[in-house]
Amino acid sequence: MLPLPKDLPQPNVKPNAEIVLQKRYLRRDADGTESPQDLFWRVAATMAAEEVKYTASPYAEEQLAREFYALMAKWKFLPNSPTLMNAGTPLGQLAACFVLPVGDSIEEIFDAVKYAAMIHKSGGGTGFSFSRLRPKASRVGSTGGVASGPVSFLRIFNTATEQIKQGGTRRGANMGILRVDHPDIVEFIRAKEKEGEFNNFNLSVGLTEAFMQAVEQDATYDLVAPHNGKVKERKRAREIFDLLVRKAWQSGDPGIVFLDRINRDNPTPDQGEIESTNPCGEQPLLPYEACNLGSINLARFVLPDRKEEGDVGIDWEDLRRTIHLAVRFLDNVIDASRFPLERIAQSVHKNRKIGLGVMGFADMLYRLEVPYNSQQGIDLAERVMAFVQEEGRRASADLARERGPFPAYDTSVFAAQGQGPYRNATVTTIAPTGTLSILAGCSSGVEPLFALCFTRNILDGEHLVEVNPWFEDALTATGLFSHELMDSVVTKGSIQDMEHLPASLRRVFVTAMDIAPVWHLRMQAAFQRHTDNAVSKTVNLPHSATEQDIRDIYWLAYKEGCKGVTVYRDGCKSVQVLDTGQSRKADDAPAPTASGVRARPDVVQGFTQRITTGLGVMYLTVNELDGRPFEVFATIGKSGRSITAKAEAIGRLVSLALRSGVHVRDVVGQIKGIGGEHPVFRRKGMLLSIPDAIAWVLERRYLKGEHPGAVSDLQDQVCPECGEALVFQEGCLICPACGFSRCG
């Protein structure tokens, strides 16, 4: 690797980015911890070193390393996290997303489990289609037994993922897809009804155009067994579509992808059909393919005076130059990466797919004084992404002249469109940038800002209010900035009802929940029209949204040409409903007394449950009052004082919650699914820990199939690493403070 130049400028790292760098990216060895400058030079020099393989390159190695370094150090472009973490290291696995096939045999299924574990260990996420598996109760010819179906094997993949730490830094993330015409589709749609099930998976239903046409015509459609092609039954399409809508309304799961539309844009159809995507849905891939991603920070390309005569105030020339360098960077990543499987390496080098995307779009809009939820905002999105797409393809064509097109290049596919030859089968993807955007100090992906300011916990219980810099600049310019106002914005979460603020300010500085769902979808569609792959985006809905609202969004996504869509109704998982559609009643929890904690009667009655845990046999006593759980006592024999103390502490805290009027479903929601070091199998799943075992008893006794939900309530759920509130955007729960992501 090239030595670090002495005249290399230091990157300007904000305190928040420093925390994330220290926690997730900066490498530590016997000589200490690398600096942000070291990190960016490590990555830049590793990518530039690949240039020497190509004699036609216009760059010298150190010159290109400096160019790549400047892109990152000036926060104009960042590659995906595995590249930042692993470039120039012995691991050397630089791709973020992979797709693995799941065949219809025990050998193929468990090969996929093994390969997924290898990918997760190296820092990647995986996508699977379970559509090839024969349906539940089908005859297995080789053994004479019956198949258990896709959902049962999905559970095995989820359990395996639970045991693997991704590259030592993050939990593995998966996408599971099942075609809508698979006979087990109803079971799959309902797979996440039970809170905590499949917590390492995003699930999506693969919709076909035949199905959507049947929905439109209120017709039936065939459910086909994939192993023999026989029609197992016929379903009314609208019933399935309505079930999808209902589950999305209740919990946001599963999402939907439009498989036929994805395959119409498949640049290498001769190599097979695309069946799945990466974990957040923005990267459709063939089996054994991988893709490396990177994002340009659009906020860095707004001219200082914001608006010029006859233009919108964007530095198009600087953006063009950055796009060309970024495409070269990502193509070099393919050569530099060490893939976990040789078959993946072969597929990647055959097609050389890259995914250049954007972040900081909401910040760009703020700087240009353009509302997100406006036709002007949609037009700007189209103009910017069309420019990225056009220049990205031009850069890929330049590389094809230097280095040759991707080996599987098919002249007939691209020439028919008057395009190519290209170095890369795909060039653009709009991926999640939750952690990258924290490093760059910008808004995430193409999402609107989730909050104009928020409170961060710091040492000794102190709090720090962080404000979006462009919002702060606008307030300062109008003489309105004050700490009191910021506290009010943190409390309200929006400025839309602050009528003392100028209307022009309120019009521009909108947040995710200020924006009507249709504008979310229209923005996604605008970017999709100029993106080779797909767009990671969440359509945020208010808690008051109806099932019809979601039905309309799904239908609009289909009509507007989106390749998939994820919706999330604010707080939906805190009010789970039964299949009858009856919502939780506000008055069905015991009311606390004036003191907040109900006094204990002299005599209470209850039961004691014996449970085998990974730390020994636990005896859980649950005493009741008025038919409701009132207190619990957890004891574990012969486990040592530390385990006994923990069990007692958990029991006391659960008792305090119950006696304070907290409903049992919310207690279960908070402690169910907490992982431990020694999980044990039960007949219908696993007990992960002592709190998970307590939740299992309470759920079986008192909820009777009802769904606990408080653990996933966006308004209450906090980051397990830093304690800040999580937000749902780009198809995943993420922490805006430290970069933690439920999707890896």
**Distances in whole angstroms, Cα of residue 405 to Cα of each of 179, 335, 350, 425, 672:** 33, 14, 10, 9, 51
**Distances in whole angstroms, Cα of residue 354 to Cα of each of 80, 302, 381, 541, 568:** 11, 26, 21, 32, 29
CA Rg value for the chain: 26
Q: Which amino acid does the sequence have at 566? A: T
Q: By the 8 A CB rule, do 269 and 219 touch?
A: no
Residues 6+ positions from 143 with CB-CB distance below 8 Å: none
Q: By the 8 A CB rule, do 380 and 366 touch?
A: no
Triad 607, 608, 611: Cα angle to 5°: 140
Among 24, 731, 94, which residue's Cα sits nearest to residue 431? 731
Residues 6+ positions from 45 with CB-CB distance below 8 Å: 1, 2, 65, 88
Buried b (16+ CB within 10 A) or exposed e, 410-441: beebbeeeeebbbbbbbbbbbbbbbbbbbbbb
**Catalytic, out of 202, 278, 292, 332:** 278
Packed helices 61-73 and 36-49: angle between N→C axes, nearest 10 degrees: 140
**Catalytic, out of 195, 275, 282, 730:** 282
Task: Give the integer Cα–Cα distance in Å for 251 and 189.
Answer: 11
Active site (annotated) includes residue 187? no
**How far is CA 676 from its chain centroid?**
24
Query: Per this entry, what is the length of the chain?
Result: 744
Q: Which amino acid does the sequence have at 679? A: P
Whether cis (ω within 30° of 0) applies to the bond prior to 9 is no
Q: Which amino acid does the sequence have at 33? A: T
201-207 vs 255-258, strand pairing mode: parallel
Q: What are the φ and ψ backbone dihedral angles of 676, each rounded to 5 degrees? A: -135, 180
Active site (annotated) includes residue 280? yes
Triad 387, 390, 392: Cα angle to 5°: 100
Q: Which residues are bridge partners to 606 per DSSP?
A: 623
Q: Which pair of tokens denotes residue 421?
A: 């030859």
Task: Give the integer Cα–Cα distance in Å for 624 and 649.
Answer: 19
Residue by residue, DSSP assigns 84-100 as HHHTTSSS-----EEEE
Q: By the 8 A CB rule, do 636 and 615 touch?
A: yes
Q: By the 8 A CB rule, do 452 and 471 touch?
A: yes
Residue 618 belongs to what H/E stretch? Answer: strand 616-625
**Catalytic, out of 97, 280, 719, 735:** 280
Among 221, 223, 131, 222, which residue's Cα sits nearest to residue 177? 131
Active site (annotated) includes residue 282? yes
Which residues are tagged catalytic?
278, 280, 282
